Structure 1
Amino acid sequence: MGFKTKPNPDGLICKHKARLVVKGYAQQYGVDYQETLLLWQDICRATRWGCGSRQEDYVYLLRKALYGLKKAPRAWYETMDKHLTRLGFVRSQSEATLYVKTDDVQILIVSLYVDDMLVTGNQLVLIQSFKDEMNKVFEMTNLGVMKFMHSPSDKHFSAAKRVLRYIKGAIALGVQFSKICRKWFELLGYSDSDWEGCVDDSRSTLGYIHKDFTNGKSLLGSNLKNFASRSAKKILAFVTAFAVFMTVVILTFALTVMHVKIPKFRLASIEVENINFSSSSIYPSFSMRFDAGLAIKNMNFGNYKYEDSTITLAYRGTKVGEALVSEGRANTRSTEEIELAVDVTLRNVSSNTIMASDINTRILTLTSHGRQHGEVHLLKVFKKKKSPQMNCTININW
C-alpha cells in the first residue's frame, strides 16, 4: 500500500490518500512479465500480482490497471487519449502528451504528466466546462492556478520580449572547442549509475565527476571541478515536467500573443449637420454634410500603425463623396476613434427618376467603402502587414 497526504491549493490538508501499488519491478521475464497483458481482460490470476488468495483455482475481476505494473502507464494514457479525443482535442504531433482544442476565438490546451494534468486557455468559462466534464468520468483534485499564467502583467510580457530579442540576436552565436585547445586544456569526466537500485520504489541513482587539466595538471589541484549524485527518476521527472510546462507556455504564447488578427475598420456613428434637396423629376439634387465616427479596433497584443486611406461614398454605384483618413496608430487591444466631416452631393446620377423617387420618400441608401494598409508591431520585434476593409450601408431618413 502507498500512502500520501494531498493538500489544497492553499497548502491545507484536504485528504489522506491510500493506493494499492504493485511492485512491477519484481516481475520476471518469462514468469510473470508477459501476463501483464491481462490488464485488458476482465479476469486475471490474483496470484500473479499478489493481490489476494494464492489458490490457483481462484480468479479476481480486475476493474482497472493496478498502480505499479509495467503496462499500467500505457493503459492510463490510452484511456485519457480516447476520452480527450472524444471531447474534440487534437494531439500534438511533436509532443504526445499535449492536446489542443481550438476554434476561431477560443483555445484550450491540456498537458498530461502521468496522472497529473495542466490545463490552460483564453476563456475561464471554457476551462471550467472542461473540468466539469472531466469530473463526470474521473475523480479529480484541483491543485490551484499557476501564478504567472493566471494573471500575467506588463513585467511578464517585458520578460518574454527580452527572451525573444535575445534569441533573435543570438541565433548565429555558439560555443566552439577547436582541436588546438587539446594542447593546453583537457576536461576529464567519469559517470556511473545504479539502475533501479532501490527495491522499494525502483528508483535509479546516477553520479558524475569532472576535472579539468592544463598541461597534465589539474587547474583546481586535487579538488573536483563538478560532482553530483542524485535520483535519476527525480531528475527525469523535473526535467520532463519543466519541458512540458515550457511547451504549454510557448504554445499558448504563440497561439494568443503571436497570432496576428486583422483589425476591424468600421463606420460607428453619423451625425447630420444639414440637408438640401430638390425632388424635381428632371433635375433632382441632394446634398448633405455629416460628421462620421470611425472605429479601428485592434485585437492584437501589439500596436497597429496604419497609413493614409480614403473612404468612398456611393449612391447606386455612383461616387457621391469621399473622406480622407490620416495615418495613425491603434494601441494594443484597444479601439481608436476618429471623427471626420463628410460632404455628399447627388446631381446628374445615372437614374434621375429613381433618385427623385427616393428623395420624395425621404429615404436614401448610401454605401461606404474603404481599405487601410498598415502593420501590426508585436513586442517591438516582429511586424505583420494587415489591410482591413470597410463595407458599410448607410440609410438616411429625414
Structure 2
Amino acid sequence: MVDKDQVLPLAFSTNGRSAEDNTPVAADEAKLTADPKTRRRRCFKICGVITAAFLLIAILIIVLIFTLFRVRDPIIKLDGVEINNLGTLMGIPKQGTNITLTAHVIVKNPNIASFRYPNTTTMLYYHGNVVGEARGPPGKAKAQRSQRITASVDLFTGRFMADPNLMSDVAAGTIVVGSYTKVGGRIRMLKFVQRHVVVTMNCTLTINVPTRSIQEQKCKRHVKL
C-alpha cells in the first residue's frame, strides 16, 4: 500500500513547454516566427510604410518650397528727393553753391523671411552725366514688411553747372534728372533655402524749379536672382 504522506511526482510538460505555451496566441506567434515567408511579408509591409512616410515628407517639403517658401522679388521704390540747399541767382544755381539732396528709398520685402542688404547706392544723372552720388547704410527688411532708407546725396556742382542745358531747363521751370539705385542682399529661409538678390531701379524725375519739388516720377525695376 502507498503511504498517505508519500508525495507523488509531478507530470513533466510535453516537449519542454509550459502550459502557457500551448495557448492559441502563443501558437500563432510561433507560426509567424517560424515561417520565413511570413517574416518577409512583414518586413515588406514595414518597409512600405516607412517609404510612404518619407515620400509624403518629401512631397510636403517640395510643395512648401514652391509655394510658401518661394523666394519673391523684393521691391524698391524711390519715395522722393528733397532739395535741402539751393542758392540761386536769377533762378540759376550760384557757382560754388553747396547743393545737397536727400533721397528716400523704400525696400519692400514680400517674403516670409528677412532680407538683409549691405550699403545701398544711388546715382544721379543729368543729360547722361553723373552729377550726384548717395550711399545708404546697411539694414534689414523684416518678413512682409517695408524698410525706409534715407541717404544724403552729394551733388557734383561743377559738373551740374557746366552742363550747357542747365540755363534753358531752369528757364523752362523744370529739370529732368535720372537716378539709378542698386540694392543687393540675401534672403534666407530656414537653413536650406538661401538666395542672393540684386534689385536695380532706374527712375526719371522731373523737378519743378520754383517749388523745388518732384513734379513727375517714372521708374523701372529689374531683379536678378
After superposition, where does 1:1-398 map in structure 2 within 5 Å?
Answer: 189-191=36-38, 249-278=60-89, 288-349=99-160, 352-397=163-208, 398=210
Gaps of 5+ in 2: 1-32, 211-225
Distance 1:334 1:313 in 2: 27
Counting aligned pairs with the same residue, the percent is 22
Code of the aligned partner of 1:388: V
**Measured at CA, do residues 246 and 348 of structure 1 come closer, stay the same or move farther in structure 2, by a change above 3 Å?**
closer
Does the residue aligned with 2:87 lie in a helix, a strand or coil? Answer: strand
Q: Give the letter for the 1:384 counterpart.
A: R
- Could you say what the CA RMSD is over the residues aligned between the two structures, in angstroms? 4.0
The whole-number CA distance in structure 2 between the counterparts of 1:353 and 1:189 is: 96
Conserved? CA contact 2:102–2:152, under 8 Å = yes
Tell me the alpha carbon deviations over residues 200-239 of structure 1, each in whole angstroms, 9 at most, x when there is no partner: xxxxxxxx567xxxxxxxxxxxxxxxx99xxxxxx99xx9
TM-score scaled to structure 1, two decimals? 0.36
Larger Rg: 2
* Separation (CA, whole Å) in 1 of partners of 2:118 and 2:177: 25
For the residue of structure 2 that corresponds to 1:258, the secondary structure is: coil
Asked if 1 retains the 8 angstrom alpha-carbon contact of 2:109 and 2:142, the reply is yes
Report the structure, 1 or 2, having the larger strand content: 2
CA change 1:189–1:386 in 2 (3 A) is: farther
What amino acid is the match of 2:175?
L
Partner Cα separation in structure 2 for residue 368 and residue 309 of structure 1: 13
8 Å Cα contact 2:117-2:184 kept in structure 1: yes
Q: Which amino acid aligns with 1:327?
A: P
Say whether the 8 Å CA contact 2:135–2:153 is kept in structure 1: no
Q: Is the 8 A contact 1:277 1:359 kept in 2?
A: no
* Aligned-partner residue type, residue 305 of structure 1: R
Q: CA, structure 1 residues 341+350, in 2 after alignment: closer, same or farther (shift >3 Å)? A: closer
Distance 1:187 1:260 in 2: 56
How far apart in 2 are the matches of 1:188 and 1:286? 99
Provide Cα deviations, 1:233-261, integer angstroms capped at 9, x if missing partner: xx99xx98x89976764443121233223
Could you tell me which runs of 5 or more consecutive residues in structure 1 were left unpaired when the two chains were aligned.
Answer: 1-185, 193-207, 211-226, 229-234
Residues matched between the structures, number: 173
* TM-score, normalising length: structure 2: 0.60
